[in-house]
Structure 1
Amino acid sequence: MKRYEPPAGWTVQAYRFALDPSDGQVAGLRRNTGAARFAYNHMLRRVGAVKAQRAAEASYGVAEADLTPWQGWSLPDLRRTWNDIKTWVAPWWAECSKEAFNTGLANLSAALGNWQASRTGARKGRRMGWPRTKRKHGRRSARFTTGAIRVDPGYRHVVLPRLGRIRTHESTRKLARRVKAGTATILSATVTETAGRWFCALQVAVKRAVGRPAHTPKAGRIVGVDTGIKHLAVLSTGELVPNPAPLKAALTKLGKAQRRAARRIGPYDPATGRKRNASNRWQRAQETVARLHAVVAAVRADSWHQLTTRLAQQFTTVVVEDLHVAGMVRNRKLARALIDAAPATLRRHLGYKTGWYGSVLHVADRWYPSSKTCSGCQTVKPKLSLAERTFNCTTCGLSLDRDVNAARNLAGLVRHVDLELLGDAKTGRGAYVRPVRPAPAGGAAGRETSRPTHPINAVRQRTAANRESRLLTER
């Protein structure tokens, strides 16, 4: 499926609205999301059955030309097969939108493609297994790409194919005015159910007028941001952004709700392992747990959105670290706190918000010792344990909070860079730059994490150090 490429000066973003559907509309939403799940599961079983049949025939010495025809898993192949069998597999198919079935087929094509790429080594990361079937009580979702998709002129409804006008919980005035002015085009709509509430996310191509960020002399043009656990983020200006820790705050209620849900009669019998009818109390207990998780996710997302929007609007250059979060969470003592803080969200949000507001995002090298380096004299400590929360420099006598010192070092990485070379002065469009890491003092002891040094990397470090010294001398 070809990805949509917006024209020059346009960006693709989403407008997400909470819905207030009627009982009949809720039934229609569940019918379409259930159709997407049914198409996904049926075609997955079909592809798996063909795969197993071909393997069995090959084990008996059947020639390749005589094997059962292979079921392709590209979206056109899956759609062609589904259209041939839907009349007897799903005789109720006419009650749902064709886009609902296409959602399940597109998700299956992507899942099987990822499995094949992981199996052949083309996809990085952990080895992916064979896709699993979607559960009936799992996340409900359906995507609409064709048909009547628009926001109502009254600013209180959205119009979706086969579902009609659905009232929104909040006003759609901002998007409706953009569409009316011709600066926005709705591409698709995705409806999802989260903790008993329905949401509609409209994918929109927007023409944005990017301007330079507003900054004050006190705040400065460059800010370094160090993420943590005790504080959500620490800025080089000295500001400490508090961490709401929503999961930690909800653990007591969440534990009680999960214990209550474990005592209810669920859809599976633990004694026999067979399916059974789930009780209404089990369903209500599961909804309570889901609502608590939804509140935790909403608080966390709101905190990060407020911070990243403010950084992109007020500062010209934002410097963050390239954190290996997947490796950090392997520490079982810090895993829960790290997941609760979600430090990788900072870089992900700033990656597109800096482009919106005309600022520049720098990503420091993963091995740059920002916490071990003194922000005053640039001396690098050989060791710095996590228990030491105050940085004390034995060379210049600087005593500073560990995180503030790291944020200042991040901001100092790009103070010698000409900002006009990083961004387009005419359009104000932001740039994504990974600065060169200066060679740490003391060699390998300056790194925060030990890593073997390759001879080519050593040459690159010396070249970067010479370049930085020349720039500092000229400045």
Structure 2
Amino acid sequence: MSTVLQAYRFALDPTCAQETALRSHCGGQRFAFNWGLAQVRANLDQREAERSYGVTGEQLTPAMSWSAYSLRKDWNQVKGEAAPWWGENSKEAYSSGLANLATALTNWSSSRAGMRKGSRVRFPRFKGKRAPLSCRFTTGAFGLVDTDRRHVKLPRIGMVRTHESTRKLARRVAAGTARIRSATITFRSGRWFVSFSVEVERTDPAPTLPESVVGVDLGVKSLAVLSTGEVVPKPKHLEHAQRELRRLGRQAARRQGPDRRPGQQPSKRWRQTQARIARLHAYVANARRDGLHKLSTRLVRSHTVVVVEDLNVAGMVRNRRLARHIAGVGMGELRRQLEYKAGGSGRRVHVADRWYPSSKTCSGCGVVKAKLRLSERTFVCESCGMSIDRDLNAARNLAALVEASSPSCGATENEPDGNPCQTRTMRATGTATGRPAPGAGQRRHREASTQDTFVDVS
């Protein structure tokens, strides 16, 4: 028995008055985020200006704490003057905006100090009115309605009808195996959604299938090639919608759009065209997600071990010739679905190392080629003479990693999402990076430069 966090998302059908209230709450969260960010930036700029004049130590302006508790405390003291209309929305709208700001500042500070993995996190920016609408509720009267399974309850907004039934979550809550922690409302592609973060008690079942390993090689020509020889064709949802998207883009260009310089407001027809473009993009995304769900579910149900690659999708989409095709596959989404579905069904997911040469290695004799161009779709081994499709060869090499599981094989079980490398200031020194280790003086200078400004004082 284990407790996991699981999200349940439902589409909403709010009335006109409820939609206005939802937009007001999302606007309140954005306003609180921008207000807190302005206070933090003013404090940091003031301290930086004082240092430029030679002011140091205790003579500097006291550093502002950017913890969620401190930001809420400061907001409650000035909310009457900063936002006289604050009583129109739930207090959770402003608290969630300040909590998001505290998380963003902490991530930036940790990344700047070299204590956060992944790419460098930049300083938070102000959110404009065109930013995605969202608001989170953690306290108050929210959840499912007991009388039926077609409504949800939100603070200050009331009961909102759902576009689909909530029976799956309602049954778990009634049985006592689920507890709703928070509710997040979002507006995406012309539709409102509510997502519940739920603590679910789950019993991990023991594997009932015989040991079965499958390697999955994702590509652009086909969605996936399995080590069993099966080729999953690539669905061309985005390609089929390109003609309509181009036509709607030309139509929007002929109509009056927004312009900030003269304060020009968009026309009604321009808004209608943009809504049609958003709906078409939503259709493509839903169709892509549905195909990935079907594939990931079938793999988890048919095999006990699934081996995938740790692909650098963010770097792959920099190729302008292949960016649209790579983005249309959804490589990162497939890995995410495999990992959470395998965890709930007693299966295992192994992630091969990013630098493992699965395509250059011969699946027959194990010889690694020095160079293999992307245009070479057939792998020909110069040592044993084997000729095989390059994607099938890569999938078989991935499946063989589990059989030869060792610290040097490059396969790890259920690695967390994201780039496994740390930020540049915390990379390993010596032969791993080709750079010498910093001396004691350099380390002291680095610590002194990040001690005051970039460390969270909460």
Q: TM-score range by the shorter chain?
A: 0.7 to 0.9
Match for residue 104 of structure 1 among 97, 111, 121 = 97
Distance 1:455 1:16, change over 3 A: closer
Please say if 1:190 is aligned against 2:172. no
Q: Give 1:288's match in structure 2, choosing from 243, 254, 276.
A: 276
Q: Distance in 1 between matches of 2:301 and 2:137?
A: 33
Alpha-carbon distance in structure 2 between the residues aligned to 1:137 and 1:328: 28
Structure 1 runs not aligned, ≥5 long: 1-7, 419-429, 435-452, 457-475
SS for the counterpart of 1:310 is helix
1:78-123 C-alpha deviation (Å, 9 max, x unpaired): 1111101111111111111111111111111122222222333333
Shift of 1:294: 1.9
Q: Choose from 333, 356, 366 the match for 1:345.
A: 333
Where 2:373 maps in the other structure, the secondary structure is coil
**Paired residue type of 1:204:** V
Give the structure 2 partner of residue 40 of structure 1: 33
Is 1:310 the equivalent of 2:298?
yes
Q: Is the 1:376–1:398 contact (alpha carbons within 8 Å) kept by the matching residues of 2?
A: yes
Pairs within 5 Å for 1:415-434: 415=403, 432=414
Deviation per residue, 1:273-306 (Å, 9 max, x gap): 3544333333323322322222222222222222
Stretch deviating more after TM superposition (122-131 or 23-32): 122-131
CA contact (8 A) 1:214 1:315 kept: no
User: How far off is 1:55 after superposition?
Assistant: 3.2
The residue matched to 1:413 in structure 2 has which SS?
Answer: helix
CA distance in 1, matches of 2:164, 2:331: 30
- Aligned-partner residue type, residue 6 of structure 2: Q
Residue in 2 that maps onto 1:145: 138
Q: 1:118 to 1:263 in 2, by over 3 A?
A: farther
Residue deviations 1:56-93 (CA, integer Å, cap 9, x gap)? 34444556545444432211111111101111111111
Picking from 10, 16, 21, the partner of 2:3 is 10
Greater Cα offset, 312-321 or 181-190: 312-321
The separation in 2 between residues aligned to 1:310 and 1:214, in whole angstroms, is: 15
CA distance in structure 2 between the aligned counterparts of 1:245 and 1:214, rounded to whole angstroms = 36
TM-superposition CA deviations, 1:367-410 (whole Å, max 9, x none): 22222222233333333221121223344443322211211121
1:370 paired with 2:370, answer no
The amino acid of 2:214's aligned partner reads V
Rounded Cα–Cα distance in structure 2 between residues aligned with 1:116 and 1:266: 38
**How many residues are paired up?**
415
Structure 1's 455 and 251: CA in aligned 2 closer, same or farther, altered over 3 A? closer
Separation in structure 2 between the aligned mates of residue 205 and residue 275 of structure 1, nearest angstrom: 47
**What is the CA-CA distance between 1:254 and the residue it aligns to?**
2.1
Q: Of 307, 323, 332, which aligns to 2:311?
A: 323
Alpha-carbon distance in 1 for matches of 2:165, 2:391: 41
Seen in structure 2, the aligned counterparts of structure 1 residues 286 and 48 have a Cα distance that, compared at 3 Å, is farther
What residue in structure 2 maps to residue 52 of structure 1? 45
User: What pairs with 1:71-470 in structure 2 (closer than 5 Å)?
Assistant: 71-153=64-146, 154-213=148-207, 215=209, 221-269=212-260, 273=261, 275-415=263-403, 432=414
**CA–CA separation in structure 2 for the residues paired with 1:185 and 1:124:** 31
Label 1:371 to 1:349 Cα distance change in 2 as closer, same or farther (>3 A): same
Q: Secondary structure at the match of 2:200?
A: strand
Give the counterpart letter for 1:142 in structure 2: C
Query: What per-residue deviation string (whole Å, max 9, x for no partner) do you get for residues 208-247 of structure 1?
Result: 22224554x7xx6111111111111111111111221333
Further displaced range: 106-115 or 25-34: 106-115
Q: Which segment is superposed worse, 74-83 or 341-350?
A: 341-350
Q: Distance in 2 between matches of 1:22 and 1:138?
A: 23
The 3 A distance-change label for structure 1 pair 376 and 17 is same
Give the C-alpha shift of residue 42 in structure 1: 1.8
RMSD: 2.7
Q: Which residue of 1 aligns with 2:441?
A: none
Tell me, in whole angstroms, the C-alpha distance in 2 between the residues paired with 1:113 and 1:262. Answer: 41
CA contact (8 A) 1:213 1:314 kept: no
Paired with 2:432 and 2:187, the residues of 1 have a C-alpha distance of: 54
User: Secondary structure of 1:210's partner?
Assistant: coil
Higher alpha-carbon deviation: 351-360 or 64-73: 64-73
Q: Which has the higher contact order (CA 8 A, sep 6+)?
A: 2
Deviation at 1:190, TM superposition (A): 0.5
Aligned mates of 1:256, 1:167 — CA distance in 2 = 35
Q: Distance in 2 between matches of 1:265 and 1:53?
A: 42
Cross-structure match for 2:18: 25
In 1: Cα distance, 2:162 partner to 2:43 partner: 44
Equivalent residues of 2:143, 2:183 under 8 A apart: no
Deviates further, 36-45 or 373-382: 373-382
What do the CA deviations read for 1:157-200 (whole angstroms, capped 9, x no partner)? Answer: 11111121111111111111111111111111100001110001
Q: Deviations over 1:429-450 (max 9, x none)?
A: x95379xxxxxxxxxxxxxxxx
Distance in 1 (alpha carbons) for counterparts of 2:373 and 2:83: 61
Instruction: Give 2:426's aligned residue.
Output: none
**Aligned letter for 2:159?**
R
Deviation at 1:326, TM superposition (A): 2.7
Which one is further off, 163-172 or 392-401?
Answer: 392-401
User: What is the one-letter code of the residue matched to 1:73?
Assistant: W
For residues 413 and 58 of structure 2, the distance between their equivalents in structure 1, rounded to whole angstroms, comes to: 53
Check conservation: 1:33, 1:140, Cα contact below 8 A: yes
CA 1:26–1:337: 2 relative to 1, 3 Å: same
**TM-aligned CA distance change 1:46 to 1:267, over 3 Å:** farther
2: distance between equivalents of 1:28 and 1:260? 32
For structure 2, the residue ranges without an aligned partner over 5 or more in a row are: 407-411, 417-429, 434-458
SS at match of 1:357: coil
SS in 2 for 1:202: strand
Could you tell me whether the CA contact under 8 Å between 2:256 and 2:266 is conserved in 1?
A: yes
- Give the drift of 1:340: 1.8
Superposed displacement of residue 130, structure 1: 2.9
Report % sequence identity.
Answer: 54
AA of the residue aligned to 1:410: L
Residue 35 of structure 1 aligns to which amino acid in structure 2?
G
Q: Note if contact 2:33-2:98 (Cα within 8 Å) is conserved in structure 1.
A: yes
